Amino acid sequence: MSTSPETKEKIYVCRCEEITLEEIDEWIDRGYDTVDELKRVLRVGMGPCQGRGCQDIIMREIAKKTGKPITEVAPMRVRPPVKPVKIGLLADGGEK
């Protein structure tokens, strides 16, 4: 993946929330160099895929820009449910 200034095309990192690499870099430059903070300010990883598509890319970008090894970049907290579940299904299940 190229981040050179001559890249004209927008690179979408989070497809659920349509967030570009440029936006992520901008907020890392402001000092928000954690996945959690980028999630809060840009909604990356908050879509239906829950970060499955974008988290690794974001962690690599943080590591690259801060010079930290990727093992020191904390991933976001995994939140249930594992996959989106319909409200009707949840409402009808459980105790009768």
Partner 1 sequence: MDWKSSAEAVIIGAGIVGVSTAYYLAKHGVKDVVLVEKGTICSGSTGRCGAGIRAQWGTEMNCRLGIAALDIFEQLDDELGMSIGLNQGGYLLVAYTDEEKETLRKGMLLQNSLGIQSRQITLSEAREICPGLAAEDATGFFFHARDGHADPFLTTFAYLEAAKRLGVTCHRNTTCTGVTVRDGAVRGVETDKGPISAPIVINCAGAYSQDIAAMAGVELPNWAERHEILITEPVAAGVCPCMLMSFSGNYYIQQRPHGSIICGMSPDGRPEDHDNGTSWQFVEKMSRVLAKLLPRTRGIRVARQWSGQYDMTPDAQPVIGETDVKNFYHSTGYSGHGFMLAPVAGKILAQHITGGKPDIDFTMLDYRRFARGEHIMESNVV
- Positions touching partner 1 (CB under 8 A) are 17, 30-32, 34, 36-37, 40-41, 43, 46-48, 50, 79-81, 84-88, 90-95
Q: Which helix (H) or strand (E) covers residue 19, if one does?
A: strand 19-20
Task: Give the nearest distance from C-beta 85 to partner 1 in angstroms.
Answer: 5
The distance in angstroms from the start CA to the end CA of the chain is 52
| Spatial CB neighbours of 34, under 8 Å, sequence gap ≥ 6 | 62, 73, 74
Q: How far is the CB of 80 from partner 1 (least distance, A)?
A: 6
**Residue 73, SS3 per DSSP:** coil
Minimum distance from residue 89 beta carbon to partner 1 (Å): 8
Closer to partner 1 by Cβ: residue 8 or 96: 96
What is the C-alpha to C-alpha distance for residues 96 and 92, in angstroms, rounded to an integer?
Answer: 8
Q: Which is nearer to partner 1, 5 or 93 (CB)?
A: 93
Cβ proximity to partner 1, 7 vs 75, nearer residue: 75
